[in-house]
Structure 1
Amino acid sequence: MFNKHLFLTNVGISLTLSGVGDILQQHYELLQGDQQKWNHTRTLHMSVTGMTVGIFCHHTYKLLDSFFPGRTLKTVLKKVLVDQLVTSPLCITIFFVTLACLERSNVNTFVMQLKQKGWRLYVADWVVWPPAQIINFYFLPTRFRVLYDNTISLGYDVYTSYVAHEIPLEVEAEVCENTE
């Protein structure tokens, strides 16, 4: 499974755990009384974002290993730096592009979400991922990296669902003026 069908395995795991992260977040919202019933469409959308990000991550890890072969501390730190400075912002952008397409958001809403919510996710990303990726790049073979990422990511997926759906956008004056 982790050799012959690695791409499908990685994408399937990403899709599934992103959906599970949303289910956990919605369950919490239901328990808190913030939500009346489970939103199936939201879970589907979060799952699809997991799929698109999973596709990107599958190929990114292969590229990182080809550009930075080996597992020395210096090589691992280079991979972590590229992961945080390049891969992470691209994953967050892919997430919001996918969500905007699925929710049929207009460009202004997409840009505001990316700027406000994307930044919040990126800051959280710096807390979670550098230590996790040091372990990932130092100890694990490439074929297990997306699985490891998604296992760590389950908590991050819950937070991503919260940020994407529960934190209101701060409406910018420019957008309000354009709608008048």
Structure 2
Amino acid sequence: MSRIWASYNRLLETAPLLTKALTSFTGFTAGDALAQTFVEPGDKPYDYLRTLKMGSFGLLVHGTTGHYFYGMLDSKLPGTKPVTVATKVLIDQTLWNPCFGLMFFGYLNAVEGKSMTEYKEKIEQDLQTAVMGSWAVWVPAHTINFGFVPPAQRLLYINTIQIGYNIFLSFLGNKEVEGGDEVKEKDETKKEL
């Protein structure tokens, strides 16, 4: 186990962006697999494409943006004093959290070929739930993160917790928009005109 940990830390030094992107890929893939297997009704067949979409979000968006965002946050607010930790948590949850939600729902919307109207409906229906759900998990988690976790391991720590949180995100992100059939009918009507 110590060999794996040493290898991971070497990769963080030599290829930090790729390593963090792959870590996020693993976290989002595992979260969706757990959601489909243990949380959602068992009468549906396993959706491998959905897992790929969630994993690719981790790889292409979460890992990369997290690398830059948390790097910037640590450079602007170095240290672990309680006021610094509280400020980082506040910034993360009031600025980054809603941006993350917009990126998450926007990415799924784009890879599923949905319209901007459907994206807007999804945001109106689920962004507040995602943000508030995040507060319950990430305020205490980031208090530990910013207070005790070395900056290079932040995304690994986040992705470890993210596996459980991704069960919630996967469920929320793949939930149909209420009145979704009406939105599709409106879009089809616009196309016909």
**Corresponding position of 1:6:** 16
**Corresponding position of 2:145:** 136
Instruction: Judge which range, 148-157 or 93-102, deviates more.
Output: 93-102
**Corresponding position of 1:25:** 35
The 1-side partners of 2:145 and 2:51 are apart by 28
1:71-119 Cα deviation digits (max 9, x unpaired): 1000110000000011111111111111111100101111111221222
Q: Does the CA-based 8 Å contact 1:56-1:91 persist in structure 2?
A: no
**Corresponding position of 2:129:** 120
1:107 pairs with one of 116, 120, 126: 116
Q: In the alignment, residue 25 of structure 1 is paired with which amino acid?
A: A
Q: In the alignment, residue 23 of structure 2 is paired with which amino acid?
A: I
Report deviation, 1:168. 3.4
What percent of counterpart residues are identical?
34
RMSD: 1.9
Report deviation, 1:175. 4.8
Unmatched 5+ stretches in structure 1: none
1:41 maps onto 2:49 in alignment: yes
Equivalent pairs counted in the alignment come to 176
Q: Does the CA-based 8 Å contact 2:17-2:63 persist in structure 1?
A: no
Q: In the alignment, residue 53 of structure 2 is paired with which amino acid?
A: H
TM-score using structure 1 length: 0.90
Q: In the alignment, residue 176 of structure 2 is paired with which amino acid?
A: P
**Corresponding position of 1:148:** 157
**Corresponding position of 1:87:** 96
1:14-64 Cα deviation digits (max 9, x unpaired): 01110111111111267x4341x1111111111111121221111001100
Q: State the structure with more CA Rg.
A: 2
